[in-house]
Structure 1
Amino acid sequence: MVHHHRAILLLHQQQQQRKGEAGEEEGQQPLGGEQGGGKMEFRRRFVDYACHHRKHGHDALLRMLAGFALVSCLLLLLPGSPISAAVDDLLQMGRTLLNDEMPPCAVVANGTICCDRTALRTDVCVMRGDVRTEAASNSLFLLVPPANSTAAAGRDEHIRPYTRKWETSIMSTIDELRLRTVPEGGAAPASCEVRHDVPAIVFSTGGYTGNVYHEFNDGIIPLYITARQYNKKVVFVMLEYHDWWMTKYGHIVEQLSDYPPIDFTNDRRTHCFPEAVVGLRIHDELAIDAARMPGNQTIQDFRRMLDDAYRGRIQTIIDEEEKAAAEAVGIPRHSISKKNALEEDRKPRLVIVSRNESRAIENEAELVRAAVATGFRVAVLRPRQDTELAQMYRALNASDVMVGVHGAAMTHFLFMRPGSVFIQVVPLGTDWAADTYYGEPARRLGLRYMPYKITPAESSLYRQYAKDDPVLTDPDTVNAKGWQVTKKVYLDGQNVNLDMARFRRRLRDAYDHWAQRRRQHAGS
């Protein structure tokens, strides 16, 4: 072993000597000059010492390392030491970065309540520990050990778990919950009638519920954002529970939770949870910020979840329709399926989402004829409050183009496949809302967004106002008078009569986009 170490050392010295000679031949100085030679001599003697005295070398090395460690610790602890100051700076930098990147209430200690009230749109409180419900007093209790009873006193929080907290009028209709920290054996319910081993998410299905835009923007997407991290191991506790809401969105709820939801107001039993998140997180209009989601999930992931939610129900609908059609004409059901598949593959499909009241397309029949002439198979959807969402999803998921006038029903663009075309007809006075609420979110989903901004002559307002009236020439000044004026004039008081010569260009653009994508897919 000693000879082996000496051989390695000798080889190392010879290599260094050759490198030095080569450097001198090339006009370069060996690294370190005389000082480098001194270091090499020290290293040689040190290795030689270790090899010759290996019996005692380990002890010597340990003593030397211990000495180095002691000196390092003294330098770190010594006030005013440059090393100590540098370490302090690094630690402070780490704390600053951590605080900047960690959102409020990202880490909540057991036995505490933390409320994040920094967001414009929503408040979210997190309770961790022994959490118990009491519907009679609209309360959630967090029980803490008696040793912490002093800290627990006066730690009540109040929250209305809905995502439009800046709108005081609508928030006043949302039930307020009281979150109370109490010592064990105090005012909290004495026993658990239903014990859950997974967290709860508490939210309201009230507010603007009934409007499909608000149902998705204020409810469904925030629920996805808040619940996704739990991988379905979470219980939904709903305020203002509606049976029709569960009928409409039950397929989505099943994708986010493995457990039946709880009607907080009417279920008077005491439910106990290890954790409760009260309120929903929201990012933007019909949007998901990947940087704030586990696994960097996006709105495309949300749409894939919708696919999973409705796939089974849609297949059931198709099976029922094919069975009924086969029985009506007396042919095998599989023949109907093949015929439908061939028909669907032949032409692109365009869906018109029709409006029956304000902002209706007055010449809708002419629009249908123009779309057919362009080469589309056309379907007209007239969604109602009781329209099954699976039916809407089926139609739009299979479509290549969606056409509709700005309004809540445009939320259904979420049901379209990325790469499809969304033509939003933009009436007078709705430019900002059309792009903010639907245009930009559609782009984020990956749709080809083709807005069609009407001219004053295409608006029914053209027949009601003078040609130089600001209602026609300067909608921004009219909108500046307030929401009620905007609603009365541009939202409730306006229909659309499309200039088909102009609109046909949009239809051709949409058809060309479909044809180009089809060629690309065929060549791949």
Structure 2
Amino acid sequence: MAYDSIFSRSFSQYHELRKLRCVALLLCFIITFSLCNILKQSAVNLELSMALGLKMLIGFEKINGPQQTYNVNSIYNLSNSRSDVLEINGDIRIHGKSATVFIASSLEGFPRSWTMEPYARKGDVFVMNYVRKWKINYQVTTKSPNCVRNFSIPAILFSTGGYTGNQFHDFTDLLIPLYLTSRPFNGAVIFLVTDKRYPWTSKYKVILEELSQYDIINIDKEKEVLCFTRMIFGLKAHKEFGINPSEFPYYSIMGFRQFLRSTYSLERKSINNCRWCKIRPRMLIISRKNSRFLKNEVEVAKLAQGLGFDVMVEEIVSNLSIVAKFVNTFDVIMGVHGAGLTNMVFLPNKAVVIEIIPFGLELLARPYFQSPAKEMNLRYLEYKVSLNESSLLGKYPVDSEVYRNPGAIQKKGFLGFRSIYLDNQNISLDCGRFRETLLKALKLVCN
């Protein structure tokens, strides 16, 4: 009996242990299943968050071969320090009047929304306030607006706001980035323009028609929902007035210059060596009227002519077709730092660019034209204006920081710096000193 009692208790304990083990095993299974679901859900959330720009990667790696993608709609983040760019493939619905891009998805429960400005100067907080903000909505298909017009052609959405109207920014912020972004489509792409400025689209009509076979759509005026299966939001940009050939799509500024030469039917590809011909080298002095103008440009022109140049002093007109052909006839272009020097893109190879750098602008002015000129297969010369040649002399006390330390003025704020050195400074060149620069230019075009 004692044995039976002991056996009975042992059996009972064993049975209880088995029950406990089964319960424990069941609990482990439930917990494991729950954790898998949670982890899976978290992974989906993370994937969508990455794809939808809530944690967008800035400075996307150079693309070699297939691009990286984060979700079923194939949203590629092509942003860098200069511009925010998304390439989207899938169900895209654009409502221009509300400035909204809807990315329709069959996934339930993951609505996302963020804003972007499609202008290639995102580091400039001041100007981005004048660019229309667009909302990107990633949401379930049933909650997205119905398509009214469907397109099989891809689209590029970009802004012509910002600094548009200044020729340097027209090229740096718009035309070169638009070339980088649209050229791979070989014309089979539709431009959706926000902040549309009619003078801009009219001025660059020839270039725009070469990049796209279709009429531009003023997307801000569209009340209907336009639908695409592929679009690029924003413009790819590399640097000031240039292209990095090692970055996708692996174009170069020389390729851009060839594109312009073909677009405007420019005759001269390279300058002639004047040593072997009887024609005097031609020099264009870009005239300015409002700020940073040469007070003695007639005297400078006579000096250059006396040294052997055929000289013309002209203000650049707005008709780019005329300007392109006109500038292409010159061997040397000269001007005070400003947007007019942007026209060097139309010069023949090996031509010379002379930039007159106003007092206090040495560090600021140099990167805008010096490096681009060399990358464009042009020769660059700079002439730094001394205080004695500047109209700033006498406007401030002798020991003023304006004379002693322009860099310190710049650190106090660009608007104040601009007011002093850019907007309220004119120049009278010392012809005796400037003569050396002209002789260097003459030697370059004649050797």
Task: Point out which structure has higher relative CO (alpha carbons under 8 A, 6+ apart).
Answer: 2
Choose 244-253 or 484-493, whichever is displaced more: 484-493
Counterparts of 1:173 and 1:117 in 2: how far apart (Å)?
A: 23
1:439 maps to which of 332, 357, 370: 370
Query: Per-residue deviation at 1:269?
Result: 3.3
Counterparts of 2:98 and 2:66 in 1: how far apart (Å)?
A: 26
* Residue aligning to 1:303: 257
1:458 maps to which of 389, 393, 411: 389
Matched to 2:138, the amino acid is T
What is the 5 A alignment of 1:206-355?
A: 206-294=161-249, 296-311=250-265, 346-355=279-288
Q: 1:374 to 1:297 in 2, by over 3 A?
A: same
2:146 maps to which of 190, 198, 203: 190
Q: 1:219 to 1:489 in 2, by over 3 A?
A: same
Structure 1 or 2, whichever has the larger Rg, is 1
Query: Per-residue deviation at 1:483?
Result: 1.2
Counterparts of 1:115 and 1:165 in 2: how far apart (Å)?
A: 18
Q: Deviations over 1:116-149 (max 9, x none)?
A: 38622211122211222212322222233xxx32
Q: 1:104 to 1:297 in 2, by over 3 A?
A: closer
Determine whether 1:159 maps to 2:159. Answer: no
What is the 5 A alignment of 1:11-410?
A: 101-102=62-63, 106-108=67-69, 111-112=72-73, 114=75, 116=77, 119-144=80-105, 148-150=106-108, 153-184=110-141, 186-193=142-149, 195-294=150-249, 296-311=250-265, 346-383=279-316, 387-410=318-341
TM-score by length of 1: 0.68
SS in 2 for 1:505: helix
Query: Per-residue deviation at 1:271?
Result: 2.4
Matched to 1:183, the amino acid is V
Counterparts of 2:257 and 2:370 in 1: how far apart (Å)?
A: 17
Counterparts of 1:197 and 1:356 in 2: how far apart (Å)?
A: 48
Q: 1:345 to 1:301 in 2, by over 3 A?
A: farther
Query: Per-residue deviation at 1:471?
Result: 2.5
* Residue aligning to 2:31: none
What is the 5 A alignment of 1:404-423?
A: 404-423=335-354
Query: Per-residue deviation at 1:505?
Result: 1.4
Matched to 2:160, the amino acid is T
Q: 1:476 to 1:158 in 2, by over 3 A?
A: closer
Counterparts of 1:105 and 1:213 in 2: how far apart (Å)?
A: 34
Matched to 2:143, the amino acid is A
SS in 1 for 2:350: coil
Q: 1:118 to 1:133 in 2, by over 3 A?
A: closer
Query: Per-residue deviation at 1:157?
Result: 3.3
**Structure 2: 5+ residue stretches without partners:** 1-59, 269-276
SS in 2 for 1:346: coil
Matched to 1:191, the amino acid is C
Q: Deviations over 1:435-490 (max 9, x none)?
A: 11111111111111000011111111123345554433433233333212311221
Verify the 8 A CA contact 2:97 2:221 in the aligned structure 1. Answer: no
* Residue aligning to 1:9: none
Query: Per-residue deviation at 1:418?
Result: 2.3
SS in 2 for 1:162: coil
Verify the 8 A CA contact 2:79 2:86 in the aligned structure 1. Answer: no
SS in 2 for 1:156: strand
User: Whose helix fraction is larger, Structure 1's or Structure 2's?
Assistant: 1
TM-score by length of 2: 0.79
Counterparts of 2:221 and 2:189 in 1: how far apart (Å)?
A: 20
**Structure 1: 5+ residue stretches without partners:** 1-98, 316-343, 517-524
SS in 2 for 1:286: coil
Counterparts of 1:478 and 1:178 in 2: how far apart (Å)?
A: 38
Matched to 1:415, the amino acid is F
Matched to 2:220, the amino acid is T
Query: Per-residue deviation at 1:499?
Result: 0.7
Counterparts of 1:279 and 1:306 in 2: how far apart (Å)?
A: 22
Counterparts of 1:187 and 1:120 in 2: how far apart (Å)?
A: 34
